[in-house]
Structure 1
Amino acid sequence: MRILDLFCGLGNFSVAMAAGGACVKGVEVGESAVARATNNAVLNGLNNCAFYQAGLSGDFGHKDWAKATYDALLLDPPRAGAQEAVTVLKNKLPPRILYVSCNRATLARDAGLLKAEGFRLSRLGVMDMFPQTTHIESMALFER
């Protein structure tokens, strides 16, 4: 399985998916995060994942990793959501998208964008990651 992990951070999800046998390309805006993600893959003996530095709020469609075809997309954006990334990839979106969100409002907005592209919400999970706070993490699986 070929997976694109946008907003990959230190590669936590990427490394786990690669350890399970997937070929993963992770993308993050910060160079230090990309270096740490790459190091995480090396420390775990993985050669089936690669990490790239790129801003995901602008036009990144010309990048080689953005032009490739994937079986799934993992989105774990900051509170502002993934609207720009979904718009840039709109003609290249794979059939499955897992969206991890810390902001219900931007998840709802971006779900509308995905619905307009022919996706349906097939599973939704909510996790209270920080008890006694209002912070809730959501995981939404969209399928075409």
Structure 2
Amino acid sequence: MTGKHHMLAVAAIYFIMGAVGIVSSLILLAAGAAPSLWNAVWSLCYVVGAYYFLMGSTVARTFLIIMSAISAIAFITILSLSQGKTTFSLLLLFLGIGSAYCFHALKFSLPLNAEFDQRAASYRSETERAKQRFYDEMEGKGNGG
């Protein structure tokens, strides 16, 4: 797989995990039950983190690496404790494998790192251009223009 495909796969996994959490919170809220605030907040963080990761944000990449490691360990630990619950175990195994893949891709994939570095440089230059336009506008207004 190319670096672009790894990036899209990691972002898709986190978009889906975040969307499922947000939708489940909304369904609970619509049903009159109190949803978990932490679940809704972390799900939103997953979606936002995946978006900014695709943009080239180093902070978002670090966040996703940490969350991938914690998620993989947590899912595999819970999987070892859930004896006899086949459907639940398969779901946890799937989530654990997905989180382990995300951790591996984010931390060790050379093609993904190359693609990420390219996007990060593009994101930084775009941000610098936007800042410069803002300062130029402010300077023009300050001089009576």
TM over 0.5: no
Structure with a larger share of its residues in helix = 2
| Structure possessing the higher relative contact order (Cα contacts under 8 Å, 6 or more residues apart) | 2
Question: With structure 1 as the length reference, what TM-score do the two structures score?
Answer: 0.26
